[in-house]
Amino acid sequence: GESVGLHLPTLSVQEGDNSIINCAYSNSASDYFIWYKQESGKGPQFIIDIRSNMDKRQGQRVTVLLNKTVKHLSLQIAATQPGDSAVYFCAESSGGQGGSEKLVFGKGTKLTVNP
C-alpha cells in the first residue's frame, strides 16, 4: 500500500552545520510532496513543497530535493539554528492523478540542534 517513511528517527547536529533529513515514499502516483516542522504541543507548520514535475526547490535556508527514480525526498536546512529543533515530517498526496488529495505522512525525524 502507499506509505511515506523516514530513514532516521533522530538527527543531532551542531549549530551552524547543514542538516539533511531524508524521506522515502512508495506511491508512484504521488504528485505533490511537502515538508512540515512540528514543535511540541503545536500543529505541523508548512516549510516547503514541491510538485512531481520538479526535482529541486529552494526557500529561505531550506532546499527540497525530489528523486522520482528512487522515490526519495530530502530536506536540507542550511546553517541550522537552535530554533530549528523540532520533529520534521514529509508528506505526499496524489490528487492530480484522480487520486486523493489527502496527505499521507511519515513517522517524522526529530532534529536536535546543539549550541
Partner 1 sequence: DTGVSQNPRHKITKRGQNVTFRCDPISEHNRLYWYRQTLGQGPEFLTYFQNEAQLEKSRLLSDRFSAERPKGSFSTLEIQRTEQGDSAMYLCASSLDNYPGPQHFGDGTRLSIL
List residues near partner 1 by CB under 8 A.
Answer: 4, 31-32, 34, 36, 41-46, 49, 51, 89, 91, 93, 95-96, 100-108
- Residue of 64, 54, 63, 51 whose CA lies nearest to 95: 51
Q: How many helices (H) and strands (E) does the chain have?
A: 0, 11
Partner residues linked to 104 by β-bridges: 92
Assigned C-alpha cell, 105 = 505522512
| CB nearer partner 1, residue 1 or residue 115 | 1
| CB nearer partner 1, residue 16 or residue 59 | 59
**In whole angstroms, how close is the CB of 100 to partner 1 at the nearest point?**
6
Assigned C-alpha cell, 33 = 510532496
**In whole angstroms, how close is the CB of 103 to partner 1 at the nearest point?**
6
| CB nearer partner 1, residue 23 or residue 113 | 23
